[in-house]
Copies of this chain bind each other. A is one copy, B any other.
Amino acid sequence: MQIIHTVAELRQWRKHAGKVAFVPTMGNLHQGHLALVRAARQHADAVVVSIFVNRLQFGQGEDFDRYPRTLQEDADKLKGEGVAVVFAPDERELYPHVSQDYNVEPPHLQNELCGRFRPGHFRGVATVVTKLFNIVAPDVACFGKKDYQQLAVIRGLVADLNFNIDIVPVDTGRAEDGLALSSRNAYLTPAERAQAPQMYAMLSQMAAQIRGGRQDYANLEAVAVANMQQQGWQVDYIEVRHADTLAVAHAGDKQVVIVAAARLGKTRLIDNIEVNLD
C-alpha cells in the first residue's frame, strides 16, 4: 500500500493501475469506511482511498479545526484491506491559491435538509469530489448511505456533468445498539453516547409505521420531532423523502427514505432508513 501526497504522483501511478475504485474520506476511519473499501474491492483491480479534511464543506463555526486528523492510524487500519493507494494531499496541494475559484453548484436540494443548516456544505462536497474525480480518474466510486443527501448530490452531479464513473452506494455501518458509525460519535460524552441510539430507534419505528400503511407523512414527522425533543434532542429535521431525488415524499410514492438530523449537546448526528413500498 502506497501513501501518495501529490496530484502528480497519483496521476503517474494511475496510468498503469487498470480499473480503479475510489473511496473518498475525511479520514478518522471506522468500520463504516472499511465497509466502503471492501465494497470497492469488488469492483476494480485497485482501490484508492483519499483522506482529506475538506475545508470547503465546513461552515463557519463548524468543526473543521477540531476534526480528527489521524493519518497514521488510518493507514494502519487500511493495511490488510487490499488498498493500493492512500491519497493524502495536504491543503495546499488541492487548494494552491487558498481560495477555490471555480465551484460546482448543485441545485436547490443543496439548501434543503442538511443544507438548510449547513449553507455551502454541498457546494463544497460537489466541488472537492469533482476535483478528486479528476485527479483519481476512477471507474467506480463508493459512497456510504449514511450521508444520504451527499449520495444524492454525488449521483446528480455524476449524471448531470457526465462523469464516466459508477457510483456504488454502501449500507450504513452500525454499532450493536444501532447507532450509525460516524467520526463525530467520538465527540459524544458517555451519557450522550448511551442516548444516541434513540435516533435509529425512532427511524426504525417510523419505517415500521410506513410499511404498515401510514402515509400521513407530515403527521409522522411531527410526532417524531416532538418525541425526540422530549428526549432532549435539538432536532434539525426528520422528514420522509423520495429515495432517489430526495424530493418531498407524497402518499403513493414507492421508494422513500426517512432522513433525520439532530443534535445531542454540541454534536450533530444524522441517520436515515430507506423504505421500499413496492
Contacts and interface: CB of A to CB of B under 8 A. Distances in A.
Interface of A: 7, 11, 94, 97, 100-107, 126-127, 130-132, 134-135, 137, 156-157, 160-164
B105 A103 contact: yes
Nearest to A126: B102
Contacts of A137: 164
Contact of A11 (B101, B130, B164): B164
A101 B155 CA distance: 12
A157 B102 contact: yes
Q: Which of A105, A107, A130, A162 has the most CB of B within 10 A?
A: A162
A94 B160 CA distance: 9
B101 A131 contact: no
A157 B101 CA distance: 8
A100 B160 contact: yes
A236 to B, nearest CB: 24
Contacts of A157: 102
Contacts of A135: 162, 164
Contacts of A161: 102, 104, 127, 130-131, 134
A163 B136 CA distance: 10
Contacts of A94: 162
A217 B150 CA distance: 48
A102 B164 contact: no
B105 A104 contact: yes
Give 7 nearest A-B pairs by CB, closest first. A101-B107, A102-B160, A134-B162, A105-B105, A131-B162, A102-B157, A103-B105
Contacts of A100: 160
Nearest to A153: B102
B101 A102 contact: no
Given A11-B164, A131-B161, A105 B102 contact: yes
Contact of A103 (B11, B101, B104): B104
Nearest to A127: B161
A160 to B, nearest CB: 4
Contact of A162 (B7, B126, B160): B7
Contact of A102 (B7, B11, B134, B156): B156
A154 to B, nearest CB: 10
A232 B127 CA distance: 45
A102, A134, A160, A162, most chain B CB atoms within 10 A? A102
